[in-house]
Chain A
Amino acid sequence: MQNKLHFINILGQGSGAHRKEDPDSFEYTLPAEITSIYPLTATEKLYQIQIIDPAQRNRFSFQPGQFVMLELPGIGEAPFSISSSPVRHGDLELCIRAVGNFTNFLNRVERGARVGISGPFGTSFPLEKMQGNDILLIGGGLGIVPLRSPLLAVLENRSRYGRVDIMYGAKSPAELLFTYQYEEWKRFDINLGITVDKADKSWKGRTGLITELLRERIAQASSLRENTYAIVCGPPVMFHFVCKMLTEAGLPMQKMFVSLERRMHCGRGKCCRCNIGSTYTCLDGPVFDYWSVMNLKEAI
């Protein structure tokens, strides 16, 4: 007599809800379509991506700061911060620089292309906690991309927040992103400071480092200890100087939020590529408060 072992099928009958705890949600991609493409600079484009199924599109709900995995079948899958407002649900905007294999292919894709979206993943900026406070949004280079979602969410509920400052620095005027929206943003009673490292002939704005903008803002207040929150995103070297200045100006570490970039292959805390010590950037981040970042070796 022989004993044939019982085969266990771990997948249920498919509830369709795809919760984080369900094994069948792991490799689940929502079919989506690129509905329009706006070139922003020579290398960055803003892609509007809509989840095709209306029910899935409405159910897709994210918080500013979260990211999605964008999949091009046969080409690859990569994580991107969401740049659109959360009220638009599954009608997403992703600002993407053509820099690697995946993004250079995406650069050649035309309107109407079918892509896959999974997510949203990761932590978000605690905008509810920030209500009633002044907000500093500080972005360097591509760092403005994850800042645009919280910015739009703040502008949509402008009366709930105090003074709002945006400080944005880029290498040159040609590399500034979302230039067509600056006037629109200013209409919401915000202070928009823009600086470039290197001006060209047509540039009439400021030249210099973003820390100078920040120094002027700090000089206008006696201390940032009360009623101020900051969101910082940029290259590693910018984190270092900006976070140090903010800390010295009295801003408590737990009121300063950063969004970190890491390599990711799954977005679900399994591939380990985004690990910083015990922390997965995809699960515990990409948004961290500065205290958590200070406590993590090699974070910034």
Chain B
Amino acid sequence: MIFKVFKKQELARLYELLAVNVIVGPVSRGNDRNGNPLYDFDVVYDFDELALDYTQTVHSPKRFVLPYHETLATFTTSPGGWEKHVDLNVYRPLVFFGMHACDINALNKLDLVLAQSTYPNPYYMGKRKNLFIIGIDCTPEPQCFCRSMGTDSAIHGFDLFLTDLGGKYFTEILTATAFDLLSEIKCTDPSSKELALYKHTAKEKSKRYTATVDTSDLTKILDLEFESKAWDAWGDKCLSCGTCANVCPTCYCYGVEEHVDLDLQHASKTKFLHSCNLIDFAKVAGGHNFRPTSASRLKYRYYHKHRGFVEAFEESLCVGCGRCGTACLADITPPEVIASVRGKE
């Protein structure tokens, strides 16, 4: 990897260089009821709108690659038959200005199942391949357990990654496009002092994690504790509302619905993101529900993230961002669930 250093005021210049494209980044969205700032990812039109010192956005950036609702196809019907029109709904590249490592890793994990598998999903791939990602370092929040999941730093899946060294940004450059871009602003090779400062910053960050998840032998533990009473206890608390999947950066399950237009000559096929916690997730026509209880659905969610995905792709589907625990109306957090299933109260 190539490293460069540039002064903080050069970042606005970098933004201006990219401003001809659509730029998405973290923006401030007021405060929650406890007075803590809220953030979201949205399209920005000015560098000053960016809140690059954001803590964590409520929603993940997944909606820019996996929209909550997306038209997969439209149909034109006629008395003799119908024609199907497919549009991938991607028209232009998107610049993502300021994504944390956990979210970059979340996209990398989604790539495994959506782009690098049998039947690659073109709706996802089209958007993903047209993303220019500028990553930025973060300060661990109380809910973050990314270090336990091995996703506290990103080694691929971005173009540029910025680390704040006080008055300067330390930059990791991963793509030729990013390298060319940086040649248009004033940047230098890092001095030995800056390298030392970078390493010190990384070390200081790793000391600030408070939440942890014991992932050792977790796949086996989940198999062994499949009948554990702990699942029932969490199932009793769970409201089956699907909020966790809504904010999760890696939840990609969906359903498909088709609708006929009022003119009866057109129809559309729409995909909407779903959640395995919702009651009808595994219900088949005829009424049989393969996961009828709240506990069985909650257990499945953990089983898929921490057991099934590991078996298929050698890594967990969870990036440890902690958004699900923060958003959960019943205060169910992954570190607590996994600890209780392990038998540690």
Binding site for B on A (CB under 8 A): 1-11, 20-27, 29, 31, 72-78, 97, 99-103, 114, 116, 236, 261-263, 265-266, 268-273, 275, 277-279, 283, 297-298
Given A21-B120, A23-B122, A74-B75; A7-B256 close (CB under 8 Å): no
**Is the CB–CB distance between B285 and A278 below 8 Å?**
no
Q: In the complex the two chains form, what is the Cα distance from A167 to B260 in whole Å?
A: 43
B249-284 CB mask vs A (1 if < 8 Å, else 0) is 000111111111100000111000010100001111
Q: Which residue of A lies closest to B114 (CB)?
A: A270
Interface check B339, CB cutoff 8 A: no
**Is the CB–CB distance between B73 and A27 below 8 Å?**
yes
Interface check B58, CB cutoff 8 A: no
Q: Which residues of chain A come closer than 8 Å to B223, judged between CB atoms?
A: 297
CB distance from A258 to the nearest CB of B (A): 15
**Is the CB–CB distance between B284 and A74 below 8 Å?**
no
Query: Which residue of A100, A116, A272 contacts B285 across the interface (Cβ within 8 Å)?
Result: A100
17 A-B pairs within 8 Å (CB atoms) are namely A2-B16, A3-B21, A5-B95, A5-B132, A8-B130, A23-B121, A29-B84, A31-B81, A74-B261, A74-B267, A262-B290, A263-B283, A268-B118, A272-B253, A297-B226, A298-B290, A298-B300
Given A116-B84, A277-B308; A74-B122 close (CB under 8 Å): no
Q: Which residues of chain B come closer than 8 Å to A278, judged between CB atoms?
A: 304, 307-312
Q: Which residues of chain B come closer than 8 Å to A11, judged between CB atoms?
A: 88, 122, 126
Given A7-B93, A23-B125, A297-B303; A73-B84 close (CB under 8 Å): yes
**Is the CB–CB distance between A77 and B256 below 8 Å?**
yes
How many chain-B residues does the 8 Å CB contact rule pick out? 73
* A contact patch SS: loop
CB distance from B278 to the nearest CB of A (A): 11
Binding site for A on B (CB under 8 A): 16-21, 72-73, 75, 77, 80-82, 84, 86, 88, 92-93, 95, 113-114, 117-123, 125-126, 129-130, 132, 177, 180-181, 184, 223, 226, 252-261, 267-269, 274, 276, 281-286, 288, 290-291, 296, 300, 303-304, 307-312
Tally A-B pairs: CB < 8 A: 170
**Is the CB–CB distance between A74 and B114 below 8 Å?**
no
Query: Which residue of B75, B81, B119 contacts A25 across the interface (Cβ within 8 Å)?
Result: B119
Q: Which residues of chain B come closer than 8 Å to A26, judged between CB atoms?
A: 119-123
Q: Which residues of chain B come closer than 8 Å to A76, judged between CB atoms?
A: 256-258
Q: In the complex the two chains form, what is the Cα distance from A283 to B286 in whole Å?
A: 23
CB distance from B232 to the nearest CB of A (A): 15
Q: Which residue of B lies closest to A78 (CB)?
A: B285
**Is the CB–CB distance between B117 and A269 below 8 Å?**
yes
**Is the CB–CB distance between A275 and B308 below 8 Å?**
yes
Q: Which residues of chain B come closer than 8 Å to A268, judged between CB atoms?
A: 118-119, 121
Q: Which residues of chain A come closer than 8 Å to B258, judged between CB atoms?
A: 72-77
